[in-house]
Amino acid sequence: MDTFCLECRCPISSKDKLFGEHRDHQVASLEKAYDDIRNKLSEYIAVLQGRSENITDLVSELELAYNSVEEHCKSSEQSLDEQNDEIMKMVMDQYNEMSQNMEEEKKVKLEQLYDRIVSFQESIDSAKEALEKSTKELEEPDQLAFVSSSKDINTRLTTALDTALSLELTPSAFPLFEDYAKNPSGNGQKELKGIPVPQKPHLQAQESNSATSTSVTVYWTVNEGDIIDCFQVYCMEEPQGAISEEYRVTVKESYCTLEDLEPDKFYKVWVMAVNYTGCSLPSEKLSFRTAPSVPVIDTERCTVCWDSATIRWSPTHPDAVESYTLEYCRQYACEGEGLRSIAGIQKCEQKVLLNPNENYLFYIKAGNSSGASEQSEAALISTRGTRFHLLTDTAHPALELSEDKATVHYHEEAFIQRATINECLTIQGELLPPRGYHYWEAAVGNSDGYRIGVAYPSTAQESPLGENNTSWCIHCVPTATSCRYELLHDNAQTAVFTVEVPTRIGTLLDFTRGRLSFFNTHNGQLLGTLWHKFTRACHAVLALERPGTLGLHMVADVPEFAKH
């Protein structure tokens, strides 16, 4: 390979030039071809380097131009913002100045009107007095006396007539307020002179769940093209036999939250748009309603059992509430456990399944179509203890139940009327579910003949407590010197020996172990236990055989003497 074919651009041998396919092609020596190609490539590289430098210079110029444009835009934007702030400040200053001047002139003219009204009233009273006096003198039967006083009568009537004529000549109205918009006060006035008064806004109807007990949120729309500085929102309680005060708020947005309102109320709301030129006509007046008042959970009225509770609450205005939402959680809940919620409750009570021996915090909210109230204060409910109430409809007619449904009375008068009847007058408590255990206490110090126990719901009301196969009790029987005690079930009697006469008896109904135990709460003595596998829910029962009082008492936790 010592030759280079210039047409094929490849090295060849000298034999190919003489006999091969390259014999008609132009050739050169390999050294010369190498030098020519190398020189050509050097020229190309030089040209490319020059163009690269030109492109680098162009990029630098573009970066400089980009930075200049960005700085100019920032400067222009800042200048525009400053100019806009100046214009807005000027407009609001002028608006405030005009409003203040108008209020001052309004005050002056109202004072003038009031003074004129007082003057008119005094003139009217004076004229009426003169007229009445003259009328009486015209009825004077003595002609001589009448002629003598005629001059005074004429003078009084002439004076009253002149006064009335002066009142008629008084201008009927005072000049209207000055048109401040046409009173130029600088170049800014000329620039804004052509701004039209806004059209009236369109107030939107109240949205669902947009209110709280003390606030409503109002939305409205405006007409495209209106120039508006602010909105004036007016609110007035719908009259209910009394004059309501107007409540006004000024905002810049197209919505407003009206606060410090009354719960369970309806309010009329309307909006006006304001700019430099003036105010729009008021929007249509729509009715907005606040959410109900916050209900209150009444812990004393709640029923608490082994693994459930019936929560009861009291609303301020029941008619304003459509439903309730009950929320609850464990008092010492694990992180992330959160609140459990029951919504759509129609009544003022709700039964909830809970864990035994736990403390819970309960909250209640009242709601209607407008919104929901705030949460009530937390109510602590503990399943460590039992809480129930005596049922009015189960009380014997001769018994009287207290208002708190915890104390029952058997009066002497009622006993005397029934002295020939040997009766056991009973009242039942709420039903206790057949799970876990339940403990309650009864104050017995004001009665010397009573029974305390439990009964299945199927127990006949007229059947004495403990004298059938569906009820169990401890029986206090009065004696000549004191009293004796016995356990009763299905006519079976078991004597009870006491160290001291109890004034309060604790009852433990244990479904788990199948036992009904009675204790003297003063010293913790076990009075006796009835063993039975209770399979159904039971009513706690109090019974009186002689005049006296039995009081139901609940404790926060089962006493230690009852646990062991």
- The pLDDT of residue 178: 44
Q: Considering the entire predicted model, what is its pTM?
A: 0.61
Spatial separation of the C-alpha atoms in residues 214 and 264, rounded to whole Å: 9
CATH number of 392-563: 2.60.120.920
Look at the block and give the residue holding tokens 């959680």. Answer: 329
How many whole angstroms separate alpha carbon 454 and alpha carbon 542?
A: 8
Going by C-alpha positions, the residue among 291, 436, 434 that lies closest to residue 366 is: 291
E-only strand ranges, 275-417: 286-289, 296-297, 303-304, 308-314, 323-330, 340-345, 349-353, 359-368, 371-372, 379-382, 400-401, 407-410
The top-level CATH class assigned to 296-382 is mainly beta
* pLDDT value of position 124: 79
Q: What is the mean pLDDT of residues 363-367?
A: 95
CATH number of 194-289: 2.60.40.10
Q: Is 352's pLDDT higher than 60?
A: yes
Strand-by-strand arrangement of the 450-455 sheet? 425-432, 538-544, 450-455, 471-478, 483-489, 492-496
pLDDT at res. 174? 45
Window from 76-90, 131-145, 328-342 with minimum mean pLDDT: 131-145
Give the integer Cα–Cα distance in Å for 112 and 544: 83
Q: Which of 237, 231, 244, 240 is nearest to 203 (CA)?
A: 231
Three-state SS at 264: coil
Does position 184 have pLDDT exceeding 50, yes or no? no
Strand runs (DSSP E) across 186-265, as ranges? 202-203, 216-221, 230-237, 246-251, 255-258
- For residue 399, what pLDDT band results from cuts at 50, 70 and 90? very high
pLDDT given at position 155: 78
Q: Which residue has the higher pLDDT, 202 or 6?
A: 202
pLDDT score at 160:
72
247: three-class secondary structure by DSSP: strand
Checking if the pLDDT of 421 tops 70, the result is no
In this predicted model, what pLDDT tens digit does every residue of 114-171 receive, in sequence order?
677 777 777 777 878 877 777 777 776 766 666 666 777 777 777 777 776 665 555 5
